[in-house]
Amino acid sequence: MIRFENVYKRYTNGREALSGISFNMEPGEMAFLTGPSGAGKSTLLKLIALIERPTRGSVLVNKRNTSRVSRRQIPRFRQRIGVVFQDHKLLYDRSVFANVALPLVIAGLGTRETGRRVRAALDQVGLLGRESHAPITLSTGEQQRVGIARAVASRPDVVIADEPTGNLDPDLSLDIMRLFERFNDVGVTLLIATHDLELIDRLRHRRIRLVGGQIVPDTDRPPSLSQAP
């Protein structure tokens, strides 16, 4: 579902964020992307969402080589990918419903179908009945769940998340990860960047560990303290 083949990414300022990354994720797989700050986790996710393009190598998402996606085709390409951010990136001048509905409106769904899917997504994240609330009146954890509902509302093939629990306390973080697992159970491919090793030690999923822009071996269940940055 996600395939990196010898990917390099060098920014215009000369910094090389990724150096020869290769990995493959099967459909329905869930993986954590770990590593210290500045290891290239965010860059890797940006290559998947076509926010950045690789300097060398190829990135394939859902068997599609991203280098063959023209600028004009990017919107349609992104509609098949759900993205979750550390800072939620909600639109604070509209309701929870409007936020979750945004990708569906963009995809051109009818009002009834949009309403149905928004309520389904909010139900899955435990926020049904809060549609008319303003995001700002929700707690940080709830806002993040609205962000997740928005990412999954259009039923994407792939969901990527960049430090989705970065601002949350441990209990809420675990809630969010359990939520991702439930989406994974219904077949969504998930790649989640996080440096919260303590948290992911409690979950059994594949890890891709980045250090200095390269993938380094990671044992299946490492002692958490030795892995801490």
Residues near other proteins, by CB under 8 A:
49, 51, 72, 75-80, 83, 89-91, 93, 102-103, 105-108, 110-111, 150, 154
Closer CB to other proteins, residue 107 or residue 134?
107
Shortest CB 125 distance to other proteins, Å:
16
Q: Minimum Å distance from CB 85 to other proteins?
A: 8
Taking the least distance from each CB to other proteins, the nearer of 99 and 227 is: 99
Q: Do 153 and 101 touch, CB atoms closer than 8 A?
A: yes
Taking the least distance from each CB to other proteins, the nearer of 8 and 77 is 77
Of 82, 51, 56, nearest in space to 4 by CA: 56
Give me 5's structure tokens.
């083949």
Q: Based on CB atoms, which residue is closest to other proteins, 22 or 73? A: 73
- The least CB distance from residue 185 to other proteins, in Å, is 23
Class of residue 84 by CB neighbours under 10 A (exposed 0-12, middle 13-18, buried 19+): buried
Tokens of 184: 């994974």
Compute the least distance from the CB of residue 108 to other proteins, in Å: 6
Q: Please, what is the minimum distance in Å from the beta carbon of residue 64 to other proteins?
A: 14
- Token pair listed for 66: 């991203």
- When the beta carbons of 151 and 208 are compared against other proteins, the nearer one is 151
Count CB neighbours of 167 within 10 A. Answer: 15
Q: Is residue 225 classed exposed, middle or buried when 0-12, 13-18 and 19+ CB atoms within 10 A define those classes?
A: exposed
